[in-house]
Structure 1
Amino acid sequence: MKTKIFGKEGISEAAEILKGGGLVAFPTETVYGLGGNGLDKEAAKKIYAAKGRPSDNPLILHVSSIEEVYPLVKALPEKAKKLMEAFWPGPLTLVLPKSDLVPKESTGGLETVALRSPENALTLDLIRACGFPIAGPSANLSGRPSPTEASHVFEDLGGRIEGILEDGAVGIGVESTIVDLSENCPTLLRPGAITIEDLEEVLGEKVAIDPTLLGKSMAEGFTPKAPGMKYRHYAPKAEMILFKKKEEDETRSGQEDITKFILSYGGKELSDCPEQEAKKSVAKAILSYGEKELSVSSEKRIWILCGEDTASLYEGDGRFTVQILGRREEPLSMTHNLFRLLRQADEEGAELILGECYSEEGVGFALMNRLKKAAGQRIFYV
């Protein structure tokens, strides 16, 4: 199969492919999506097959307006209307009880459907041209870092899908926030650029956080209500490890003890160090761990993924490739670069990625969610 690249002038042709049951990747403000007819169970099956995605991992249906939601759900609660009016089009997905119009092949077998309206003019035009909701998980092979450019889509899915609608690099760089409104209490299932604080301000009530986002294990046989909950996601080919300052209220339970790998900080306890000294200690731990790895194999390609403010702490050692994720005080600058850098690490043959951790306040919650998943939840406390 030849994969065709479309620009704005190719929307009509892309729509005809989708109407015929084919697959076309499309741009959004978050990541590129892999599109198929959301009401066609055979198209849904093709999406799972193209990605190598487990069939119990729900798809998100993309619409161009709130009005298009009504036929897809049993009812539209007031809470959903408030959030749609506040954040659509935008990076927010809502989970609601589905109508009979939506096939279970598009919902991972669930009685709920995930819906969002993306903030991208080309894709909104594509949805309108199709006349049906477009099912669209991220347009990558399952488990790989999500695509933030059309070239990433082609790298993973070239020859597996009919087309790619190209519109440059995305803005946000991580997937949408997902909120479950299928029950009385709104529950955050996946963090994104719309923060829990943003949601609570609009709703005027507390939003619960799904236990899986707080490190709780899922029960055997659990069926995820939203993408990204059950399976390993966003992972580079290289082994990835995160390093974090141990807070007083955190424990090492389930974590590897790295004291034998790190340099001592003048005998001081990290909890007594000011913030900058704590950053220096994390940097020392990362460099020490990297040096230990190099002592085993001097040819090992090691990346250090850090904030702009700490990059200078890693300078002067040409054995490591230092990559700046973004500005610590602007987590959206980091989400914008994350998946691109993880893919670049693969392209350049990195074998080990050692990364810093960041505040989980606001958008930082989404950033750390993706970093932890990319690292397989491996965090070394220092």
Structure 2
Amino acid sequence: MNEDTSTLCSPFLSIANYDDNNLDPQILLFLNKAKDLLVNRQVVSVPTETVYGLAANAFDDVAVSRIFQAKCRPQDNPLIVHISDLKMFKSLFNDESIADSILAGPYAEPIRRYWPGPLTIIVPRSESVSDGVTAGLDTMAIRMPSHPVVRRLIHECGFPIAAPSANSSGRPSPTLASHVMDDLGGRIPMIIDGGPCLGGVESTVLDALRNPPVILRPGGVTWEELCRLPSLKGLQVYKRDFSDAKLEQNPTTPGMKYRHYSPTAPVLLLDLKYFNESASHSTTFGNRSDASSSKDSTYADNNSIANGYRSNLENQVNVSKKCSGNNDDINRISNARLCMIKARNRVVTERLKLIKESLNYSKNSTQDSNLNMNILAVLSVTEPEIPQGLRDNGGDIRWFYLGDLEDSDEVARTLFAALREADHFKVKEIIVEGILDTNAGLAVMNRVTKAASQVVLVNDEFI
């Protein structure tokens, strides 16, 4: 883009007031402007239920190339196609029987339960989709978002959009419009402000073309939810259950090949892998309510675009956040929490000492004015406020509470924003307390592991 500024548009104040049949004139104005830009081969940042996306016409090579230019994104990193309804999905294929076979195969139940929503599926490529979207592969990634603004926009355009996260490539994904402005302001013509993203991490990418089926990227729909479906028997998770060097070099979906989600400051991760490995991955431990799995929806009617989003929001508000497992699970969480606190206190103390020594040397030679200010950021899942034992160093530490260790949904919603805010304070290092890799924790740990420069394994030796 040659534009010197980006237009930041706020189309609505509350999702509860969004009405497809009675849109505020100001919202319509913004949507029409966004549509005009997309029709004319430009890019627009749009809100979704996961993170903010950078949208372009998925059929147009020039439009898609502008995504890569704005993000400085590698050309061999494929994009996800976003559709408004199943009618648009079917229209992607010259032979409608291909679409029908996809909708009747292993994807039938996941689509029925989780579209619209944060689930991406891998399907045979449509000849209509730009080569830039698929990175030249014979498959493509596709999903139906539940956010009513982006679905309405896709419907009005009449074509699918390609939309990776609206950030500079490699940076933490944006969950606020201001994050997009920080990264892409001046490089894109329009940012639609839809408020905070409810999910906080990107969509789950499911490949049921493989046997057994595989989650290539954990996200908003969990392994625990998907593995219950009969058509996904034996469901695996890439990197957790197996690795594939060929797939790593020619990824079919974003988030697999390159380092992602990284703030400017180096990230040190305190990983509870020991506690994850001490228990089998079962469908009984720490599961979320199955309320979100019970909805039966094909969402072919565009007059109810907001329904799926509202339903998902209600489910997120109503589900139990705490572990409902057996005593072994509860004891494991209790031990993990205790070990994490002790490990974090030790690591924070050691890192402060080392960094201060480095800064003292730097100050003697360069007059570093940041000494004893914002040296470390700690992203905690165990304590809402800086603990007493570290308060003597309070002036050196920025404390961020992501949510409780057991509340993986809340941690997922707050992770990227906290990483960005820590960067705002120009800290020298970010220490992140990891969580257990059940439910949304699998996606959280996938993201923060990719962001980490160093990992410290936390085990029962810290008790």
TM-score range, shorter chain: 0.7 to 0.9
Q: Is the 8 A contact 1:83 1:203 kept in 2?
A: no
Matches within 5 A, 1:270-285: 274-285=335-346
How many angstroms apart in 1 are the aligned matches of 2:409 and 2:456?
24
Match of 1:290 among 343, 351, 365: 351
Indicate if the aligned counterparts of 1:26 and 1:123 stay in contact, CA closer than 8 A: yes
Q: Check conservation: 1:91, 1:177, Cα contact below 8 A.
A: yes
Q: 1:234: how far off?
A: 0.4
- One-letter identity of the residue aligned with 1:355: V
Partner of 1:12: 32
Deviation at 1:219, TM superposition (A): 4.5
Match of 1:158 among 185, 207, 211: 185
CA distance, structure 2, for counterparts of residue 171 and residue 323 of structure 1? 19
Count of matched residue pairs: 361
Equivalent in the alignment of 2:441: 364
| C-alpha distance in structure 2 between counterparts of 1:288 and 1:64, whole Å | 51
* Higher normalized helix content (fraction of residues): 2
Gaps in structure 2 of 5+ consecutive residues: 12-26, 278-331, 361-370, 459-463
What CA distance in whole angstroms lies between the structure 2 residues aligned with 1:177 and 1:355?
Answer: 23
- State how 1:188-227 maps to structure 2 within 5 Å: 188-213=215-240, 216=243, 218-219=245-246, 222-227=249-254
Q: Give the match for residue 381 of structure 1.
A: 457
Residue 71 of structure 2: which of 34, 40, 51 is its match? 51
Q: Which residue of 1 aligns with 2:409?
A: 332
Q: How far did 1:221 drift? A: 7.8
Do the aligned partners of 1:196 and 1:207 also contact (CA within 8 Å) in 2?
no
Contact kept in structure 2, 1:279 and 1:310, CA below 8 Å: no
Deviations 1:32-88 (A, max 9, x none): 000000111111111111100011111111111122112325442422222111001
* Higher mean displacement: 286-295 or 360-369: 286-295
Q: Tell me how far 1:97 sits from its aligned partner.
A: 0.5
Q: Distance in 1 between matches of 2:170 and 2:427?
A: 18
- Among residues 123, 139, 145, which one is paired with 1:96 in the alignment? 123
Residue aligned with 1:288, SS: helix
Taking the aligned partners of 1:163 and 1:207, their CA distance within structure 2 comes to: 43
Once the two structures are superposed, residues 307-347 of structure 1 have per-residue CA deviations (whole angstroms, 9 ceiling, x without a partner) of 14474546413122221111211111111111111111111
| Sequence identity percentage | 36
User: What pairs with 1:225-264 in structure 2 (closer than 5 Å)?
Assistant: 225-244=252-271, 247=274
Which position in structure 2 is the counterpart of 1:256?
none
- Following TM superposition, the consecutive aligned residue runs of length 4 or more in structure 1 with deviations greater than 6 angstroms are none
Task: Say which of 66, 90, 107 aligns to 1:80.
Answer: 107
The equivalent residue for 1:108 is 135
Change (3 A) 1:274 1:188: closer
Tell me: CA distance 1:86–1:122, structure 2 relative to 1, closer, same or farther (3 Å). Answer: same
Shift of 1:132: 0.2
Change (3 A) 1:12 1:355: same
Quote the residue 1:266 is aligned against.
Answer: none
Deviation at 1:187, TM superposition (A): 1.1
Secondary structure of the equivalent of 1:247? helix
Task: Give 2:397's aligned residue.
Answer: 320
- Which shifted more, 157-166 or 289-298? 289-298
1:36 to 37, 56, 77: 56
Q: 1:197 to 1:220 in 2, by over 3 A?
A: closer
Higher mean alpha-carbon deviation, 309-318 vs 92-101, is at 309-318
1:8-28 superposed Cα distances (whole Å, 9 cap, x missing partner): 231011001100100001000
SS of 1:224 mapped into structure 2: coil
Give the equivalent residue in structure 2 for 1:354: 431
Asked whether the equivalents of residues 236 and 346 of structure 1 are also in contact (C-alpha less than 8 Å), the reply is yes
Task: Within 5 Å, give how 1:119-138 maps onto structure 2.
Answer: 119-138=146-165
Q: Please list the CA deviations of residues 159-192 of structure 1 after superposition, one character each: whole Å capped at 9, or x if unmatched.
A: 1112111111111111000001333432101001
Contact 2:386 2:399 in 1 (8 A): no
Q: Return the alpha-carbon distance in structure 1 between the equivalents of residues 34 and 342 of structure 2.
A: 52
Classify 1:233/1:245 alpha carbon distance in 2 versus 1 (closer, same or farther; 3 Å): closer
Task: Please give the alpha-carbon distance, in whole angstroms, between the structure 2 residues aligned to 1:329 and 1:357.
Answer: 11
Q: Does 1:24 align with 2:44?
A: yes
Inter-partner Cα distance in structure 1 for 2:234 and 2:67? 32
Q: Secondary structure in 1 aligned to 2:56?
A: strand
The structure-2 alpha-carbon separation of the partners of 1:368 and 1:220, relative to structure 1 and needing over 3 Å to count, comes to closer
CA distance in 2, matches of 1:214, 1:325: 27
Give, as a single letter, the amino acid of the residue that structure 2 aligns with 1:381. Answer: L
Counterpart residue identity of residue 239, structure 2: T
Give the RMSD, CA atoms, in angstroms.
2.4
Using structure 1 for the length normalisation, give the TM-score.
Answer: 0.88
CA contact (8 A) 2:212 2:232 kept: no
Q: Which amino acid aligns with 2:357?
A: S
Q: Separation in 2 of the partners of 1:221 and 1:57?
A: 11
Deviates most, 218-227 or 317-326: 218-227
Q: Which amino acid counterpart does residue 321 of structure 1 have in structure 2?
A: R
Provide the rounded CA distance (Å) in 2 between the counterparts of 1:89 and 1:363.
18
8 Å Cα contact 1:29/1:171 also seen in 2: yes
Change (3 A) 1:279 1:167: same
1: CA distance, partners of 2:39 / 2:269:
44
- Give 3-state SS (helix, strand or coil) of 1:327's partner: coil
Which region of structure 1 is more displaced relative to structure 2, 189-198 or 237-246?
A: 237-246
Moved more, 305-314 or 223-232: 305-314
Per-residue deviation at 1:274?
4.2
